[in-house]
């Protein structure tokens, strides 16, 4: 059994297509197929269901995939540990982040790269459910997501900051002296919200429900940049305060906290629990004390 055979199997699981998996592994399709068939012969069980094209994994194949991911991750961790001992960490930190945390994520990546300048960071915007899948499949090293709302299972975590919700809109839509706005009042406005598949939207919908209100958004998007752009254009948007860290509001636009109820949720780093952490993950998770970034984002 060779490591590349396990890598081919994992690539096939990601793409569900022999040609795409081969391209991802920088080999020809016949070479990838031959290597997987050789692994099947060695193990004595079929791993892939085929009928001219990929149709999924057999029950044995699903079990082998679990071990393959573990073996490939262990080899990667070994290489990282040797690199760390020789000349410091080198490689790629694969980080998934929920959209509301993207701007604040620079506080994480800057500190990590400041400590390990030879490391690269691959930062991807994902839903919390996609982060859970990526951690379980070994496709992510860590994630930035909510810790106390729809919390992920089988993860270790460190809290970074509390997220509060703001209404962002043209100032003429608010009373001049208003420093907050109630959720029930906001529900009657022309709202731009994130799409229902995103956890932030589910948090917002729950807050409206607690206020006895049911909003009817005129625009839904999976992009916070788009959401804020439409607030600039005359709609009312709801977003987390961390988004304004590097996006100051232009003249004529205000952001006020939402109240009645007042809600907040903790955002933090998560990584898969169980087993020995890779050097990259161990270094990342040791960089922060609980809620260390809270004052910077909510002060």
Tell me: do 290 and 145 sit in the same domain.
yes
Using only C-alpha atoms, what is the Rg of the chain? Answer: 23
Choosing from 38, 63, 80, the residue where a domain stops is 80
Which CATH number goes with the domain that contains 189? 3.40.190.290
pLDDT of residue 83: 66
Query: Number of structural domains, the chain?
Result: 3
pLDDT of residue 299: 58
Tell me: do 62 and 195 sit in the same domain.
no
pLDDT of residue 86: 56
pLDDT of residue 88: 64
Which CATH number goes with the domain that contains 154? 3.40.190.10
Which of these, 156, 197, 203, 182, lies nearest to 256 by C-alpha position?
A: 182
* Cis geometry, peptide bond prior to residue 261 (ω within 30 degrees of 0): yes
Q: What are the distances in angstroms from CA 67 to CA 6, 44, 138, 141? A: 9, 16, 11, 17
Q: Read off φ and ψ for residue 156, nearest 5 degrees.
A: -100, 150
Token representation of residue 227: 């959401």
Domain span including residue 49:
3-80
Region label for 52, one of left (φ > 0), alpha (ψ between -120 and 50) or beta (otherwise): left
Tell me: do 127 and 198 sit in the same domain.
no
In the chain (299 residues long), the average pLDDT of successive 10-residue segments reads 86 87 88 90 89 84 85 76 65 93 94 91 94 89 94 93 94 91 96 93 96 96 90 93 82 93 95 83 93 83
Tell me: do 151 and 289 sit in the same domain.
yes
């Amino acid at each position: 059994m060779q490591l590349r055979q396990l890598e081919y199997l994992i690539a096939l699981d990601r793409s569900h297509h022999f040609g795409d998996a081969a391209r991802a592994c920088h080999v020809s399709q016949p070479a990838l197929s031959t290597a997987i068939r050789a692994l099947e012969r060695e193990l004595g069980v079929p791993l892939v269901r085929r009928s001219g094209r990929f149709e999924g994994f057999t029950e044995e194949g699903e079990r082998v995939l679990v071990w393959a991911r573990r073996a490939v991750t262990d080899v990667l961790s070994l290489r990282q540990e040797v690199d760390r001992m020789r000349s410091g960490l080198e490689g790629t930190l694969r980080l998934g982040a929920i959209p509301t945390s993207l701007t604040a994520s620079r506080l994480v990546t800057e500190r990590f790269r400041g400590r390990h300048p030879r490391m690269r960071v691959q930062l991807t915007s994902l839903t919390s459910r996609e982060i859970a899948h990526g951690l379980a499949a070994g496709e992510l090293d860590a994630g930035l997501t909510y810790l106390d709302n729809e919390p992920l299972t089988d993860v270790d975590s460190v809290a970074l900051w509390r997220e509060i919700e703001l209404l962002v809109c043209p100032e003429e839509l608010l009373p001049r002296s208003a420093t907050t706005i109630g959720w029930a009042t906001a529900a009657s406005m022309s709202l731009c919200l994130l799409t229902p598949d995103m956890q932030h939207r589910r948090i917002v919908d729950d807050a409206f429900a607690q206020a006895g209100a049911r909003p009817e958004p005129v625009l839904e998007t999976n992009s916070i940049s788009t959401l804020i752009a439409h607030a600039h254009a005359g709609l009312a948007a709801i977003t987390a305060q961390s988004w304004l860290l590097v996006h100051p509001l232009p003249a004529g636009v205000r952001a006020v906290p939402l109240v009645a109820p007042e809600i907040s949720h903790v955002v933090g780093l998560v990584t898969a629990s169980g087993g020995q952490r890779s050097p990259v993950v161990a270094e990342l998770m040791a960089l922060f004390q609980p809620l260390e970034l809270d004052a910077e984002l909510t002060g």
